[in-house]
Amino acid sequence: MTIEVHLTLQRENFTLQTSLSLPASGVTALYGPSGCGKTTLLRAIAGLEPAAQGIVKTNQATWQDKQHFTPVHKRAIGYVFQEASLFEHLTVYDNIAYGMKRRQPHNRVESEFSLDLLGIRHLLDRHPEQLSGGEQQRVAIARALATQPDMLLLDEPLAALDNARKQEILPYLDKLQQKLSIPVLYVSHDPHEVCRLSQYLVIMDEGTVVEQGATSSLMSAPSLSGSSLFTVSQPEENQISHLSRDKYIIKARVDGFDAESSLNSLSFSGGTLLIPGEEITQPSVCVEIAASNIHLTTQPGQVSSMLNTLPCSLIDLQPCSPGYLTVRLKLGDEILNTRISRKAASTMALRNGQRLFAQFSAEVASS
């Protein structure tokens, strides 16, 4: 079953035109640069943009079509903004109780369950000014869930938080997306959040949908060739991101930790990854691989300072600059690019379809 969203909204200097069939469960990320239309699309789905024309249909109801428009207060949604927007004069308990007033007649999400899931039960008697930014956002999410919505809309809920507060709330969002039975639409311009939290990804630019599909597939789209859909925006200053066209982000499962060598063992479709450092306590993480760190060899047994040596197949070779070629590789389900000199390619007799071994280092992505 899917959520159908086919909307057009015309403004003086901006046009939103989208046609989407979204999963009716899990987290769908709306991703793209500032001003691309992510929040406008979310608002239109919520019914906050009555000028938008088209269709919004969920599993339970048709909220909008040519014949009728369901106002926002009658749509079974929970909406969380960038700012928590809690009622300052009310306690945490009373803020959440306010959300209960809009409950739908069927029970999809229990408030008691939300308190424990978001780790806020001990905060019920406090007022918003006594909470950290991360705690305020967790309360805002609990209030949205208290309405027992058919869909949860999160509009960059971490954007106003510093890195420490982001790290505070991310584990709770991890648990949230694993436990909720309702679909979640999550707006973000941060690729690390997208990789960590979402299963389905919608990439937007200038009011249109550039691409949509499984997050794992789109996150590993080739970037050095210039065809990457993630080049629609530029990274913020000092932000480590594959948007700079030379890094890839892969979601991997954490399998174990060797305390003696301080090595984490992770797995993904291409094999096992080894990452040094402190023990990773999350069940899964996003891993960065720099294209410049990918070295190729025809034999797996060669000694290297790179911790990871994994089999791959050469998809094709393309000229990219004087004396260099872009090499496109298939590593499990991932597609990665690296660059190699023409001389080295000739010496190795590289050809399409050839079995090679990629040697590289990797690190856990930080948002």
Give me the CATH number covering residue 247. Answer: 2.40.50.100
Whether residue 316 sits in one domain with residue 208: no
Assigned domain for 224 exists: no
Average pLDDT over residues 70-85: 91
Whether residue 172 sits in one domain with residue 31: yes
Beta strand pairing call for 271-276 and 263-268: antiparallel
Burial of residue 250 (CB within 10 Å: 0-12, 13-18, 19+) is buried
What pLDDT does 110 receive?
53
Q: How many domains in the chain? A: 2
Beta strand pairing call for 77-80 and 62-64: unpaired
pLDDT at 262 over 70: yes
Domain boundary among 169, 184, 219: 219
**What are the φ/ψ torsions at residue 115 (nearest 5 degrees)?**
-60, -45
What pLDDT does 82 receive?
87
What pLDDT does 220 receive?
61
Supply the DSSP string of 256-285, one letter for each residue. EEETTTTEEEEEETTEEEEEESSPP-SSEE
CA distance 188 to 81: 12
Q: Which domain holds residue 247?
A: 242-364
What pLDDT does 291 receive?
85
pLDDT at 287 over 60: yes
Assigned domain for 146 exists: yes
**Percentage of the chain with pLDDT > 70?**
89
Confidence band, pLDDT 50/70/90 cuts, at residue 109: very low
Whether residue 215 sits in one domain with residue 259: no
What pLDDT does 337 receive?
87
Confidence band, pLDDT 50/70/90 cuts, at residue 305: confident
pTM of the model: 0.75
Please compute Rg for the chain using Cα positions.
23
Assigned domain for 250 exists: yes
For the segment 16-32, what is each residue's pLDDT rounded down to a tens digit? 999 999 999 999 999 98
Average pLDDT over residues 221-242: 34
For the segment 159-206, what is each residue's pLDDT rounded down to a tens digit? 888 888 888 888 888 888 888 888 999 999 888 888 888 989 999 999
Average pLDDT over residues 288-305: 84
